[in-house]
Amino acid sequence: MINISIKHLRYFEALARLGHFGRAAEDCAISQPALSVQIKDLEAMLGAPLVERGPKSIRVTGLGEEVAHRAREILRSVEELGDLARASNNPLIGRLRLGVIPTIAPYFLPAVIRTLNVKYPDLDIRPREAVTQHLIQDLLDAKLDAAIVALPVSEPTLHEEPLFEEEFVLVRPQHDADKPVPNADMLRDMRLLLLEEGHCFRDQALSFCNISAATPRELMEGSSLSTLVQMVGAGIGVTLIPEMAIAIDTQCAPVCVARFAHPRPTRSIGMVWRKNSLLSDHLMSLSQIVRGLSA
């Protein structure tokens, strides 16, 4: 009998997914040599190589691809056993893995955690901040229980529960405070600062300005809304931010905030989880609590 452990599968799945021993070791919170030993141990038990090792990269073999696929299914089933145990408890206790996109996390997540800690003192909230596509993949792989993102995500296996609508506002240098607020057509001709690719808020801003993501433009990019606001304060250009970011990101920069004329640009914020999650009823209750925080 082959004595393959869950640990073997978890480590190899990370290696196959990330394609790098160092990044996989970091993802699994172990040392790279320890990860390498576990992978070699798994290969010895299976009697065949799972990866081809190069000086700077690896390539997963055909067998390795199949093993990685089966490993993900097994790991997902193991996570669902935990869901089964948690679903039997009322009120919700234990671990809750909650994903949040970066344009929501700094502004809304602290209030969510404080409220849920009061409502469910035995709930162990494990937040993860990442862009939408990574959160969705983690949900599908059962590495997250739910995520707060901008809707829609259009993934048929996920339930989308709307929470609230939020406006976008224009941030421009303080000396422009008395100027008329530009419309979407005017913004296309201005130096518009955007988040880097991968952020859904970037796509929403481009959509409002009717700019194709593929259109060549000299756009200044930043990794956070705070960075964009600081660049505006330095006189580099203008940017859009969600309303929830105003109180935090505009306080330490010489900028002003303006609201657009109707119809104003907005985004829909919601909570998503797997339709077949055993925690669905609990997550629905949690979403109602979170919705109340936006009122």
Q: Which of 13, 126, 27, 19 is nearest to 67 (CA)?
A: 13
Looking at the structure, give the CATH architecture of the domain made up of residues 6-84: Orthogonal Bundle (1.10)
Residue 104's pLDDT is what? 96
* Tokens standing for residue 230: 């600081």
pLDDT score at 216: 46
pLDDT of residue 175: 92
- Residue 161: what pLDDT? 97
pTM listed for this prediction = 0.78
Q: In b/e form, how buried is each residue of 126-157, taking b as 16+ CB within 10 angstroms?
A: ebeebbbebbbebbeebbbbbbbbbbebeeee
Fold: same for 91-163+268-293 and 165-266: yes
What is the pLDDT at residue 219?
A: 63
- Note the Cα 43 to chain centre separation in Å: 33
Residue 206: both structure tokens together? 């481009």
The pLDDT of residue 1: 53
Cβ-proximal residues to 60 (8 Å cutoff; 6+ apart), any chain? 16, 19, 50, 51, 52, 68
Contact 120, 70 (CB under 8 A): no
Q: Which fold has domain 91-163+268-293?
A: D-Maltodextrin-Binding Protein; domain 2 (3.40.190)
> What residues contact residue 54 under an 8 Å CB cut-off, 6+ apart?
none
Q: What's the pLDDT score for residue 228?
A: 94
* Fold of the 165-266 domain: D-Maltodextrin-Binding Protein; domain 2 (3.40.190)
Q: Where are the domains of the chain?
A: 6-84, 91-163+268-293, 165-266
pLDDT value at residue 90: 66
Q: Could you report the average pLDDT of every consecutive run of 10 residues in the chain (295 residues)?
A: 83 89 89 91 90 84 90 83 70 86 95 94 93 93 93 95 96 93 86 88 86 60 91 93 94 93 91 92 93 86
Local structure of 218: helix, strand or coil: coil
